[in-house]
Amino acid sequence: MLTFRSRAPVRISFAGGGTDVSPYPQERSGCVLSATISKYSFTSLKLLDSRMVKISSHGTQRAVVLSCVEEAVLDGEFDLAKTVLMEFSPQRGIDLFFRNDVPPRSGLGSSAAGFVSLIGAFDAAFGHRLTKHEIAELAFKIERERLKVRGGKQDQFASAYGGINFMEFNANGVEVKSLCIGRGTLNELEKNLVLVFTKEREKHGTDIIEDQTDSFRSGSSTVGGALDAAKQTAIEMKGCLLKGDLERFGQLLHKGWEEKKKYSTHITTPFIDGLYDAARKEGAIGGKITGAGGGGYMIFYCEPDREIAVRERLTQLGAIPVPFSFEFNGLESWKVE
C-alpha cells in the first residue's frame, strides 16, 4: 500500500507577533522574528483501492469513515483534515492519520503546522507540486478564511519554510528572509534558551487576538503604539542575532514582553507573572509567552550557565520544561513504498 508522510515544525516567535494580524500589516506593515524547533505535526496518507476516506488522529477514540470525499462536511469533527481533503478532492480513497508533538492552542503555532503538514502530504500524494510559499498561503487561507480562526500569517510561513527567519507583512503579501547566523551564535542561543509549558490558556488565543484587533481598529493609541514598538523590537533583535549580541537580544526579549502585555488585558495571568518574576531572579534576562497569551508555552533567554537554575525554579513552580533544538528544513514530505 503506497503511503505518503509529511512533517511540519512548530515555531517560537521572538518578537513582532501581532503585527502580522490584519489590519495592522495592511495599514502600517508588520514584521516578525521567529525560529522553528524540533517539535512537529505529522501526517500519514495511505492510498486505497476504493474511494473510502478514513480520518483519525492520535489521542482520539474514534475515526471518521466516509464512502467518498463528497460526503465530507464541516461539523466540528476533524474539520482541520476535512478542509484540506475538500480542497484537494481526491478521486481515490485514502486512510489519513495525523498527530502533533504539542497540544493545540498552546502558542507554538501547532494548528498552522497541522495544516502545512496535511497540505504537504496531499501535495506529495497527488502531484500538485506546490512551493513552500504556496503551501503557506493555502494553509492560511483554509485556517483563517474558511474555518474563521482569527490570527496572523507568521505561523504558516514559519512552519513551511523552517529555520530562523525575519518575515515582513504588508498589503502586497509576505516576504520570508532566512537569517545567516554564525554557528557559535546559534549554539549559544540554543543553549541559553529555556522553553516551558505553563498550562492551557485561560482564554482561547482567538479571543485575545479579537480583543487586540478591536482595540487597534478603534484607534487605541496604547495598542497601536505597542504594536509599533513590537515591530521595532523585531528589527533590532534581528540585528543582534546577526552581530552575535545575545545579551542585548535577551534584553529586547524582556522589552518586547512589556510591550506585548499592552495588546490586551488577557495576555498575562498572575501565574504567568509569577513564573516570569521567578525566572528573572534566577538569571533569565528576558522572556515572553510564545503565542497570543493567557497560557501555553513561555520562552526565556538566560545568562550563560544560569539556564539550569531557571529551568529548575520554573519546574518547582509548576511549569513543565520542554527540551528542543532549532530546526532548519521546514515542511518535509516523503513516500513509503
CA distance 150 to 143: 8
Collapsed DSSP state (helix, strand, coil) of residue 192: helix
Identity of the residue numbered 131: T
- DSSP secondary structure, 281-308, as one string: HHTEEEEEESSSSSSEEEEEEE-TT-HH
Identity of the residue numbered 62: R
- DSSP secondary structure, 125-176, as one string: HHT----HHHHHHHHHIIIIIIS-----SHHHHHHHH-SEEEEEEETTEEEE
Question: The dihedral of CA 119, 125, 129, 132: what is its sign?
Answer: positive
Whether the Cβ atoms of residue 330 and residue 159 lie closer than 8 Å to each other: yes
Catalytic residue among 75, 155, 211, 273: 155
Whether the Cβ atoms of residue 23 and residue 216 lie closer than 8 Å to each other: yes
CA distance 324 to 108: 12
155 flagged as catalytic? yes
The residues facing 226 across adjacent strands are none
70, three cell numbers: 463528497
Residue 298's Cα: distance from chain center in Å?
Answer: 13
Collapsed DSSP state (helix, strand, coil) of residue 332: strand
Whether the Cβ atoms of residue 149 and residue 206 lie closer than 8 Å to each other: yes
Q: Which helix (H) or strand (E) holds 277?
A: helix 270-282
Closest CA to 26 of 152, 113, 122: 152
Residues catalogued as catalytic: 155
